[in-house]
Amino acid sequence: MFSVTKSETVHWQNWSGSVHVNVNQICTPFTVEELAAIVKKAKNHNKTIRVVGAGHSFTPLVATGDVLISLKYLRGIEEVDKETHTVSVWGGTTLKELSEALAEQGYAMENMGDINLQTIAGAISTGTHGTGAHLGNIPTQITGITLMTATGELETVHSLSNQALLQAAQVSLGMLGIIVKAEIKVLPQYSLIAHSYRLSFDDCLKQLDALKALNRNFEFYWFPYTETVQVKTMNRWEDHTAMPANAKQNSMLKKLVIENGLLWVMSEASKRIPKTYKAVSTMSAMGVPVGSEVNTSHLLYATPRLVKFQEMEYAVPEETLPQVLQEIKYIIKRKKCKVHFPIECRFVKQDHIWLSPSYGRNSAYVAVHMYKGMPFNEYFSIMEEIFRKYEGRPHWGKMHTCPNQELQELYPKLQHFLDIRKRLDSAGVFMNDYLRDLFQVS
């Protein structure tokens, strides 16, 4: 008998509550040997397996009625190689744990998204990204992956020995096997200075190229029904002693109060009295936090997101962003979309990862949100029409309805990926109904 925690028919739901399933078994192995035994047993009993990270995806990627595995006991840094500046980390480690452990060793991740609660394996698997036109998504920071395949055996995939398999495994939605460990290339620890300020929609679009080129990290939020944009930039801060007079060291309280408390109050108002959506968006634009902050990089990337929402995000070719936004602005007004959450725009450098939404093209990611409990289908489908018109590729972890035929056209290496999937897992142990349908796998 293995020391595997399991329970019968457990209810599971994701962060946003968009996915609910009753699972036969949730397994939380303590060792790699236990993990292998679970995989072999499931395969022998014709059961399917999905692995869950922190459950922060909005799509039913981890939904299964059979076996759900969590690597919550396989976490932490295993090894730091100070010669190659790479770190080997267990798949169940959250980005928060990883960045804190790296900081203790004098290292940091090259870039991060806007929260740090995801597991490293989950973040890799869906192509999680931050922002920065010169920076790739999180999977581009990975140099090697230790994968447990459907036979229960470990396969090490490394950029030095098997580049093609790594390009398939870097963003693989858990379809090739279980990411037990990942090797990440890291940077010496660094500090950033962050600025937040208001700009008009038109000025932001006019300055887009300069803002992208001149800032390490640049993103902006446009508030529907207004001409206001919040710009956020971050750049390296080398001199810890001479901080600008207005720069704060830690504005966590402000982030909790303004970005969460006030947003929650306004979102509740919008949910209860739907006709207030324009006023709420306008008030949010007026309340944009303006100021600067200096801190260690990992403490600036992540912000608390206590207000729950549903989200759709597409990566469009970066040069199309101005047209995409003009169309979004026009259609929101024309169709009177009831939305008060700002539209988030970020930038990611192109890569060579087969299922990465930034494969082969510099990308602008445009995200639309709806407060949890408010209707989102109509709004998301209006937005999706625009994204798809500009050959947008959906973020795998966020809501979308992109059909298989379009995915085939958008991802030139999709068939190569599916061939490898079939070779590694011909019985489809790691598939669920959602993925079979999405990728037309029988």
Q: Between 121 and 370, whose beta carbon lies closer to ligand FAD?
A: 121
126 binding ligand FAD? (CB under 6 A): yes
Q: How far apart are CA 267 and CA 263, in angstroms?
A: 6
Detail the DSSP E strand segments found in 288-408: 291-296, 309-317, 343-348, 363-371, 393-394
Q: Kindly report the number of other CB atoms within 10 A of residue 247's CB atom.
A: 16
Residue 227: which residues within 8 A CB-CB, separation 6 or more? 200, 201, 202
Question: What are the CA-CA distances from residue 434 to residues 155, 260, 421 (Å)?
Answer: 26, 32, 16
Which string of b and e fits 179-189 if b means at least 16 CB within 10 Å? bbbbbbbbeeb
Question: Which residues, 6 or more positions from 164, have their beta carbon under 8 angstroms from its beta carbon?
Answer: 416
Among 53, 152, 224, 392, binds ligand FAD (CB under 6 A): 53
Which has the closest alpha carbon to 343: 309, 300, 390, 373? Answer: 309
Pick out residues in 22-51 that bind ligand FAD (CB under 6 A).
Answer: 50-51
Interface pick for ligand FAD out of 48, 118, 167, 358 (rule CB under 6 A): 118
- Choose which of 43, 129, 340, 388 interacts with ligand FAD (CB under 6 A): 129
Q: How many residues bind ligand FAD (CB under 6 A)?
A: 32
Residues 331-370 that bind ligand FAD (CB under 6 A): none
Nearer to ligand FAD, 28 or 126 (CB): 126
Q: Does 110 bind ligand FAD (CB under 6 A)?
A: no
* Site for ligand FAD contains 114 (CB under 6 A): yes
Q: Taking CB under 6 A as the rule, which mask of x and - marks residues 6-25 in contact with ligand FAD?
A: ---------x----------
* Residue whose CB is less far from ligand FAD, 56 or 338: 56
CA 262 to chain centroid:
24
The Cα–Cα gap between 132 and 215 comes to 8
Report, in Å, the least distance between residue 202 CB and ligand FAD.
26
Please, what is the minimum distance in Å from the beta carbon of residue 83 to ligand FAD? Answer: 27
Cβ proximity to ligand FAD: between 225 and 425 the closer is 425
Q: Contact between 91 and ligand FAD (CB under 6 A)? A: yes
Tokens 């936004």 -> residue: 325
**DSSP secondary structure code for residue 361 in this structure:** S
| Interacting residue with ligand FAD among 39, 80, 171, 173 (CB under 6 A) | 173
The alpha carbon dihedral of 30, 34, 36, 39 has a sign of: negative
Q: How many residues does the chain have?
A: 442
Kindly tell me which of 157 and 178 has the beta carbon lying closer to ligand FAD: 178
Q: Do 213 and 318 form a contact (C-beta atoms < 8 A)?
A: no
* Nearer Cβ to ligand FAD (59/292): 59
Q: Does 178 bind ligand FAD (CB under 6 A)?
A: yes
* Smallest distance, ligand FAD to C-beta of residue 130, A: 6
Q: How far is the CB of 71 from ligand FAD (least distance, A)?
A: 5
Q: Which of 263, 198, 193 is nearest to 231 (CA)?
A: 198
425 three-class SS: coil
Residue from 67, 179, 205, 280 that binds ligand FAD (CB under 6 A)? 179
| SS3 at position 129 | coil
Stretch that binds ligand FAD, among 54-62, 210-218, 282-290, 368-376 (CB under 6 A): 54-62
> Measured from the CB atom, is 53 or 136 closer to ligand FAD?
53
Q: Does 132 bind ligand FAD (CB under 6 A)?
A: no
| Residue nearer to ligand FAD on the CB measure, 202 or 433 | 433
Chain positions 66 to 85 lying near ligand FAD, rule: CB under 6 A, are 71
Distance, CA of 381 to chain centre? 21
Stretch that binds ligand FAD, among 113-121, 201-209, 286-294, 384-392 (CB under 6 A): 113-121
Residue 376 CB, nearest approach to ligand FAD (Å): 14
Q: Is 392 in the site for ligand FAD (CB under 6 A)?
A: no
Long-range contacts of 37-43, Cβ-Cβ distance < 8 Å, separation of 24 or more: 37/2, 37/4, 37/152, 38/2, 38/4, 38/67, 38/69, 39/148, 39/150, 39/151, 39/152, 39/178, 39/429, 40/151, 40/152, 42/66, 42/67, 42/429, 43/150, 43/151, 43/152, 43/427, 43/429
Shortest distance in whole angstroms from residue 138 CB to ligand FAD: 8
As measured in angstroms, the least distance from the Cβ of 335 to ligand FAD is 26
Question: What is the rounded distance in angstroms from the CA atom of residue 195 to the CA atom of residue 288?
Answer: 12
Of 207 and 303, the one with the shorter C-beta distance to ligand FAD is 303
Residues that bind ligand FAD (CB under 6 A): 15, 50-57, 61-62, 71, 91, 113-115, 118-119, 121-123, 125-126, 128-129, 173-174, 178-179, 305, 395, 397
